[in-house]
Structure 1
């Protein structure tokens, strides 16, 4: 009888160990998250369809319930990740997501979430990755996002977010990758986080000058994508002195001139530059060609004059890209760099106030 008792006790202990004890606040947050999504947008074979709260979300093994979309801490008490499959879920992001205080990764990308990003997101202090790209979020980016000191990657691209960028964006001291491309953001570029590797803000309505103060201390910045905005003025010589810069896309803005010091930039890694379709006047910035690593250069669609430097077309070192659709003369017709053809003299003369002379 005693042996049977010990056996039953061991079996009970085993069952208790196998049974997860997910935090009640985490469970209520998951329930709120699930209920905020339109039932008709949840396919029967999807991750969210397996969320059955008759079972514990962190219980193992997860063979029939919570088979995907949720990850938990090693002790199975806290939810640490929500990563949804891109199947077209539609709904709003509930403010009660803030109860998941141990969340490190939130990825809702490629669905149909709409409405604002809740300001209560500031409670997710351990969040390292926030990916809400390719949804229909609207409204402004909440200032509370800038309190997420553990955040390393923020991707809110391809939504309908509007308003200015948060003023204290630079307080995201751990941020390495920022992508807010293809929204409806306006205003100036604030001071940026000092540890950024990649900056992508393409396809917005940002305006004003690119200020050196915005980029101060960004010694690790490798990729800058600010194309298809309304930036204007002069692109200062300091920009190409950013020491780790490799790829630059500033096309389709309204820059009027570019300053490049000798030698071109302080870095040795510049590979690609796109300054096409701005309003840049004057001579081709020849110092760019002094960068031996440069492989792609687009300056097309501007109002550059004069004759392009010969070393742009030097044998095996010729870069790809385009100097076409400018006001250049003597651009070698047999070079791919010189296509498409240059603007007409009349267009160029008008751009220079009638004072242009070939």
Structure 2
């Protein structure tokens, strides 16, 4: 064989040898198991997984025809550090051998059709920072072993069929800043939450009990709370609104019976939006909401509130949305709501027991309750402002 051809052959063999030795063998075995656990008919020709051809090294470069998407390797091309799948409807189970990808930082299988239980072996992924299994069909309890993943920053398991109580060790995820468990079937009370949360979303589940101070203790960075469509009961306590970074609250569609809210301390001035609609809140409209300087949106619709609309609400310049419809509010709404020009408030005062609400104003829609209903609600005791 001529020397130039022999040299070219040796170089080619050397390159193939180096290429074959790049990715950690344990990682390759895990990736093979991961792909084999996906139903072949759901791997479309245009999908990322269709390019996973194990006759080539997963971490070799350049990726022109094989492993072109869906995974990322470490700078030295030896370990898989990210699996982020395209949302094309992959169906299958999550292989327990995923635990061998011990350098994994991101696992995102969102918006596919994976099913079965979440494997306990995920606890071996000690470096994991982002875990997203959102909008699949995983079922069963949330493994408590997930709470050993102390490097997690973002945990999103929303839109599955997960059941049972939340792990009592959830607070051990001390680096977690975003938690979304919405649209599942979790039940029981809210446990103590991770201390560095910025965003909390567990809407549309079956959580119950009261909003406990133990659950929210030390959450000085919490900005967003989304717990709507559960079964929380009792009075929403004043300390809740004193969480120092709180901006947005949605506890609509629960069974809360009251709101205890005092005037805010000067340092608690971040509250922007509050939705407590569709609960069972009784008493007068909480006037102290108007003392939060940045409040722009407030919904107390479809509760059991009585009495007048606070005059201070009509004088609050930051307020842009106000929904008080579906209660038993009485008297005449403050005229300030109807003469604000470009600062007009959007919302509704309809379906109450108000009198003198201008029919020309969208705020007064829908129409007020019949007088007979209002008299029954007030046991026949109508104030002069109510007539």
Normalising by structure 2, we get a TM-score of 0.86
Alignment of 1:15-34 (within 5 A): 21-34=22-35
CA offset at residue 8 of structure 1?
A: 8.3
| Contact persistence 2:226–2:250 (CA under 8 A) | yes
User: 3-state SS of the aligned residue for 2:328?
Assistant: coil
Alignment of 1:51-130 (within 5 A): 51-130=52-131
CA offset at residue 199 of structure 1?
A: 0.3
| Contact persistence 1:241–1:265 (CA under 8 A) | no
Q: Structure 1 residues 296, 74: CA separation in 2 closer, same or farther (over 3 Å shift)?
A: same
Distance in 2, matches of 1:348 and 1:130, equals: 52
Q: Structure 1 residues 351, 277: CA separation in 2 closer, same or farther (over 3 Å shift)?
A: farther
Aligned to 2:359: none
| Contact persistence 2:242–2:264 (CA under 8 A) | no
Alignment of 1:318-337 (within 5 A): 318-329=319-330, 330-332=332-334, 334=338, 336-337=346-347
Q: How many matched pairs? A: 357
- Which deviates the most, 300-309 or 178-187? 300-309
Q: Which segments of 5 or more consecutive residues in structure 2 lack a partner in the other structure?
A: 339-344, 354-368
Aligned to 2:350: 340
| Contact persistence 1:139–1:163 (CA under 8 A) | yes
| Contact persistence 1:264–1:288 (CA under 8 A) | no
Aligned to 2:158: 157
Q: Could you give the per-residue CA deviations for residues 55-109 of structure 1, whole angstroms, max 9, x where no partner exists?
A: 1110111111111001111111111000000000000101111111110000000
Q: Could you give the per-residue CA deviations for residues 234-283 of structure 1, whole angstroms, max 9, x where no partner exists?
A: 11110000000000000000000000112378511111000001000011
Q: Structure 1 residues 349, 140: CA separation in 2 closer, same or farther (over 3 Å shift)?
A: farther
- Which deviates the most, 211-220 or 13-22? 13-22
Q: Could you give the per-residue CA deviations for residues 93-135 of structure 1, whole angstroms, max 9, x where no partner exists?
A: 0111111111000000010001100011100000000000011
User: 3-state SS of the aligned residue for 1:122?
Assistant: helix
Q: Structure 1 residues 32, 288: CA separation in 2 closer, same or farther (over 3 Å shift)?
A: same
Aligned to 1:262: 263
Distance in 1, matches of 2:373 and 2:37, equals: 56
Q: What's the C-alpha RMSD, in Å, of the aligned pairs?
A: 2.4
Q: Structure 1 residues 89, 57: CA separation in 2 closer, same or farther (over 3 Å shift)?
A: same
CA offset at residue 149 of structure 1?
A: 0.5
CA offset at residue 19 of structure 1?
A: 5.6
Aligned to 1:242: 243
Distance in 2, matches of 1:24 and 1:350, equals: 76
Aligned to 1:142: 143
Q: Structure 1 residues 265, 147: CA separation in 2 closer, same or farther (over 3 Å shift)?
A: farther
Distance in 1, matches of 2:25 and 2:233, equals: 53
Alignment of 1:159-174 (within 5 A): 159-174=160-175
CA offset at residue 193 of structure 1?
A: 0.3
